[in-house]
Amino acid sequence: MLPTRFSIASAQCGKPHHSFSTIVSSDRDQFERLLSDVRRFLSQQQEVYGDLLFPGTQPAHSRSDAGDGGNVTKKGDGTSEEELFPDIPASRAPGSVRTEFPKEDWVGTEDLEALNHMICTCLKCSLGQTRTKFVFGVGNPQADLVLVGEAPGADEDAQGEPFVGRAGQLLNKILEAIRFRREDVYICNILKCRPPNNRDPLPEEVNLCEPYLWKQLELIKPKLILCLGRIAAQSLLKTTESLSSLRGKVHDYRGIKLMVTYHPAALLRNPNWKRPAWEDVQKVRKLYDELTTNR
């Protein structure tokens, strides 16, 4: 539409054709820059406020760091979750969220490495077909603090390790700032395989993969979980509450205390959040010290 509008304006102004092209090109560049700024702003706001920012919409299905503009599906257009995955019960329906372990061999294992070995060929959801590497988790198998993100990204998928790349480096610095080394804690994600284009995990994928996280936690027996990012927090706590309302509180996840802060990738996009994130991790350290002092 823009070229047509500017074409009329140009004709009225009687500008020669090469000037018109320059004007159109320059205005379009400005328009695209403005659009990009608006998109970035909305993405940052949604990271914090989640669905409260867009009341009446479904939870976002595209990680805001992916920048692919969302992937929300609607009923009746052939792309709803139920229509795409007719054999899998919709986990959003009340009572359909999995709370018990499936009846499978790996559930009985008592060793973290053995668990990794038993589940690393998983194909329960479609992400098993598209992953490069299964991303189980790394760190101290007896850690008192476990960090949980939502899913592997491109770097993690390539290397088979969670939180590598720029976000991982920032996470290491955050840990150092509260006197942890990366190897002191355990780091993993809810999903063990990368969603294509870094989209958000689908509820069905969380429902299928989350029991692996439960088993990891059962074996590690941490005192505290730090949940990284809104999507991970909402997925674990089964809530649509905003990140801002989830931060600063101590939640319960299967009997383990859980706190929430920003995803390091979000901090890279918006350095203004580093201050509140710093406050979050100070509280995490304080609670960790209280929980581990009288062991």
Q: How far apart are CB 193 and ligand SF4 at their closest, in Å?
A: 3
Q: How far apart are CB 192 and ligand SF4 at their closest, in Å?
A: 4
Determine whether 21 is exposed, middle or buried from the number of CB atoms within 10 Å of its CB (0-12, 13-18, 19+). Answer: middle
Name the residue nearer to ligand SF4 (CB basis): 145 or 208: 208
Q: Which residues bind ligand SF4 (CB under 6 A)?
A: 122-125, 127-128, 191-193, 205, 208-209
Name the residue nearer to ligand SF4 (CB basis): 209 or 228: 209
Name the residue nearer to ligand SF4 (CB basis): 193 or 246: 193
Rounded to a whole number of angstroms, the distance between the first and last alpha carbons of the chain is 68
Q: Give the C-alpha separation, 208 to 191, whole Å.
A: 9
Q: Give the C-alpha separation, 62 to 64, whole Å.
A: 6
Name the residue nearer to ligand SF4 (CB basis): 193 or 267: 193
What strands, in cross-sheet order, belong to the sheet with 138-139? 138-139, 186-189, 145-149, 224-228, 256-261, 251-253
Name the residue nearer to ligand SF4 (CB basis): 150 or 280: 150
Q: Quick count: other Cβ atoms within 10 Å of Cβ 226?
A: 27
Q: How far apart are CB 121 and ligand SF4 at their closest, in Å?
A: 9
Token pair listed for 153: 């990204």
Name the residue nearer to ligand SF4 (CB basis): 102 or 248: 102
Cβ atoms of 96 and 84 within 8 Å: the answer is no
Q: How far apart are CB 20 and ligand SF4 at their closest, in Å?
A: 52
In single-letter form, the type of residue at position 276 comes to P
Q: How far apart are CB 238 and ligand SF4 at their closest, in Å?
A: 18
Beta strands in 102-213 (DSSP E): 138-139, 145-149, 186-189
Q: How far apart are CB 85 and ligand SF4 at their closest, in Å?
A: 12
